């Protein structure tokens, strides 16, 4: 499995003029965990967390998630 899921949370934060710490407070997770999501180091995300992020940023999951093929595919 060479592909990856990219979490474009920083793009949506910029569009909504919101800070990462503000989003973390709204969603109910720590800024450190939000940073893990933002930098793509997360191995998983709860659907309930994704739902709260989408509600806070007024966006669709597809606005946040992007699939990138790996080398050789």
Would you state the pLDDT for residue 12? 95
Rounded CA gap, 11 and 64, in Å? 8
3-state secondary structure of 48: helix
C-alpha span between 53 and 28 (Å, rounded): 10
CATH number for the domain including 11? 1.10.260.40
Query: How many CB atoms neighbour CB 64 within 10 A?
Result: 20
Domain-embedded: residue 72: no
Using the predicted structure, report yes or no on whether residue 39 has a pLDDT greater than 60: yes
Count CB atoms within 10 A of the CB of residue 31. 15
pTM for this predicted structure: 0.87
Query: How many folded domains does the chain comprise?
Result: 1
Question: pLDDT digits over 9-27, tens only?
Answer: 999 999 999 999 999 999 9
Would you state the structure tokens that stand for residue 32, as one six-digit string?
């450190």
Q: 41 is in which domain, residue-wise? A: 4-61
User: Do the domain assignments include residue 71?
Assistant: no
Locate 31 and state its tokens. 């800024």
């Amino acid at each position: 499995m060479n592909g990856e899921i990219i979490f474009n949370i920083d793009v949506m934060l910029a569009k909504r003029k919101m800070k990462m710490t503000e989003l973390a407070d709204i969603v109910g997770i720590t800024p450190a965990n939000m940073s893990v999501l933002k930098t793509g180091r997360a191995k998983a995300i709860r659907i309930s967390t994704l739902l709260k992020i989408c509600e806070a940023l007024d966006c669709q999951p597809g606005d946040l998630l992007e699939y990138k093929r790996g080398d050789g595919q």
